[in-house]
Chain A
Amino acid sequence: MNSNYKVCHTIADVQSVISSENNSFDVRIESDLPESTTTEKCILGIDEAGRGPVLGPMVYGTSYCSVDNQAILKTLGCADSKVLSEQARDDIFDGITKQSEILGWAVHIISPTTISNCSFRRQKCSLNEISHNAAIGLIQRVLDRGVNICEVFVDTVGPPEKYQEKLLSIFPQLKITVSKKADSLFPIVSAASICAKVTRDAALKNWKFIERPGEDIDSNWGSGYPNDPVTKEYLKKNIDPVFGFPSIVRFSWSTAELVLKNNAAQVDWSDEEEDEDKKSVPITSFFGQNSKQVQQKTPFFDDRGLIVTTKF
């Protein structure tokens, strides 16, 4: 697992890291390590941002502090990031970064390319699995830094019981609570949620389109959600007939696939073709001699897909 974390102290740091990295790959960012978290017992929260949209990265965030210092979370106004305005989230994140003596945080930006690639692997890796792995990676990272975690709170959209079991099997020494809407129940998860959401917004705003260097970028993509007409229109307008979309788009979303099917060149993948060929073989071909199969002198040529094209 790549544990190449960049340290950031302010929201401006986060923005500059995002715009200096290749957006096709995942980026991991973390705060300085607050001294108190290595000695005192700590709580840790985890939440995600940007799971549904067809555009941009999905961001996993964590925040942690000692049990005794958790009152600071309420003082900063940590609440569910979805009910806060963008400005309010930015202000709270600014507050979090200023409390670097007691509050620690980290984010994992999962690039749209990673999401598409996982989904289009031969052995498909689901979005849930990506999410779980990101959460596990963040917990492990904080443990590796020497934070004395005793209790973990995780937000989930899927069934909490199995997820909780999975986490407990990996971290048996921790007390783990996985729950729906944890971001509105536990302030430490709200803080994680704000870190994730602020990072995702920053990632979208500072997205570097390597496909169009030096060009004015059409960033009128609406909410990014698949059912938003502005987002759909954006997808249709930003197509390359061969390569499809710029890498900000999640190719594996059915909305994106449909737009490509109707507006870009058809692409057949070798294995899919093979499968079709196999299906269309008539059963009678298994009886009697197949005239197509010319016996070669040795399997050497068959093994290598070589055929004789010149008759002597």
Chain B
Amino acid sequence: MRLVIKRPEHRKTEDSDASIVGTGQQAVHLLPCKIHTREPGDDCQTSTAPVDRYFCPYTKSAAEDESALWHSSLRGKPLTGVKLSMPDGYVGVLCVGKDDAGNTIDGSTAAVESITGEVTERLMYWNWDRIPTREDPLLSALDWMRVSEAIMANND
């Protein structure tokens, strides 16, 4: 599964999803690991995990501070995370890829993507025992949104 960051107005088929944004849906956790939940040949699109019970009793270092570090533990590994909001004007969309034969695949090279319907404005970004910083590829990649907007504005 992967996350695609989109501008809502560019979306074609899933406009109805916009209503989901901001409702009390489950948080999206971006983990520093790959969990091989599917058996080979198993075409189950999504597998569920009891995140609320096994993962969510995490703690926050400073109360009421949006930029505070969070701590959690997965399979005994210490995780350090931050709450990440999508850039203004964008939402995140969870996608599941399918290969030519229609099998569900995880790789980012998927030919066709189907939208799972999960739309998110924010997610928890977790590192394994490393404080998330602006040096992290994902956190810095979001710069491109603003840079590209500036370039597009110049083109006009």
Contacts and interface: CB of A to CB of B under 8 A. Distances in A.
Interface of A: 22, 24-25, 113, 116-117, 119-122, 210-213, 240-244, 246-247, 250-252, 256, 260, 265-271, 273, 300-301, 303-306
Nearest to A302: B137
Contact of B137 (A25, A267, A305): A305
Interface stretch (B8-16, B17-25, B68-76, B82-90): B68-76
B143 A211 contact: no
A246 B74 CA distance: 11
B32 A270 contact: yes
A116 B73 contact: yes
A306 B141 contact: yes
A121 B78 CA distance: 7
Contact of B33 (A122, A250, A270): A270
Interface of B: 32-37, 47, 49-50, 53-55, 57, 59, 73-78, 128-130, 137-138, 140-141, 143-144, 147
B6 to A, nearest CB: 13
Given A116-B76, A210-B57, A268 B36 contact: yes
Given A121-B78, A122-B128, A269-B128, A243 B59 contact: no
A73 B31 CA distance: 52
What's the dominant secondary structure at chain B's contact region?
Answer: mixed
Given A211-B50, A240-B50, A243-B54, A267 B78 contact: no
Contact of B77 (A117, A300, A301, A306): A117
Contact of B53 (A22, A210, A252): A210
A24 B128 contact: no
A77 B81 CA distance: 49
Given A117-B77, A120-B78, A122-B130, A269 B53 contact: no
Residue from the set B32, B55, B57 with the largest chain A CB neighbour count within 10 Å: B57
Contacts, number: 97
27 contacts: A113-B76, A116-B77, A117-B76, A120-B78, A120-B129, A121-B78, A121-B129, A210-B53, A242-B49, A242-B50, A242-B54, A243-B55, A246-B54, A250-B76, A251-B77, A256-B76, A267-B33, A267-B34, A267-B35, A268-B33, A269-B32, A269-B77, A273-B34, A303-B140, A304-B143, A305-B137, A305-B141
A271 to B, nearest CB: 7
B129 A244 contact: no
What's the dominant secondary structure at chain A's contact region?
Answer: loop
A242 B50 CA distance: 8
A120 B140 CA distance: 27
B56 to A, nearest CB: 9
B137 A113 contact: no
A260 B75 CA distance: 9
B76 A119 contact: yes
A183 to B, nearest CB: 29
B140 A304 contact: yes
Contacts of B78: 117, 120-121
Nearest to B141: A304
A271 B128 contact: yes
B47 to A, nearest CB: 8
A266 B77 contact: no
Residue from the set A240, A269, A273 with the largest chain B CB neighbour count within 10 Å: A269
A161 to B, nearest CB: 32
Contacts of A24: 57, 73
A304 B137 contact: yes
A45 to B, nearest CB: 32
A22 B50 contact: no
Contacts of B74: 243, 267
A268 B34 contact: yes
B126 to A, nearest CB: 11
Contact of B76 (A120, A122, A210, A240): A120
Given A213-B53, A243-B55, A269-B32, A304 B144 contact: yes
